[in-house]
Amino acid sequence: MKGLPAILYLTLAVLLGSAGEGFALPACTSNQNQYYDNCFGTRTFANGNRYVGEFRNDNFNGQGTKTYADGTIEEGIWKGDKFRYAKKVTLPVIARKSPSPTP
């Protein structure tokens, strides 16, 4: 009976950990001249711009990052090849000052 909670927690962790894998899009073909639909891939342009992310109907659609030749980066949600809004989940970093040693 003592091991039952541990088994339940382990089972739940495995199920939740594998859930993201089940919803991941398949990789796009490596041939950038092919039609990209419902996949995750990279498209590099002649002008030096590069998009890495989700495609639908051969357009940037979903989560993705576009890096321009000048170094500008747009990261977030795309729809119909247009950048809609930034959406990046990052954990906050809290910097604290160490307490001064007492004399």
Q: Which of 42, 49, 89, 90 is nearest to 64 (CA)?
A: 42
| Residue 1: both structure tokens together | 């009976």
Which tops the pLDDT comparison, 11 or 62? 62
Stronger pLDDT, 102 or 24, i.e. the higher one: 24
pLDDT at 22: 42
pTM beyond 0.75: no
Residue with tokens 């977030």: 76
Q: How far apart are CA 54 and CA 42, in angstroms?
A: 9
pLDDT in tens, 14-70: 554 544 444 589 999 999 889 999 999 999 999 999 999 999 999 999 999 999 999
Higher pLDDT pick, 60 / 92: 60
Task: Output the pLDDT for position 20.
Answer: 44
- Tell me how crowded residue 54 is: count the other CB atoms within 10 A of its CB: 20
Residue 98: which residues within 8 A CB-CB, separation 6 or more? none
Regarding predicted confidence, which is higher, 88 or 45?
45
Residue from 58, 62, 23, 53 nearest 37 by CA:
58
> What 8-state DSSP symbol labels residue 70?
T
The domain locations on the chain are 23-86
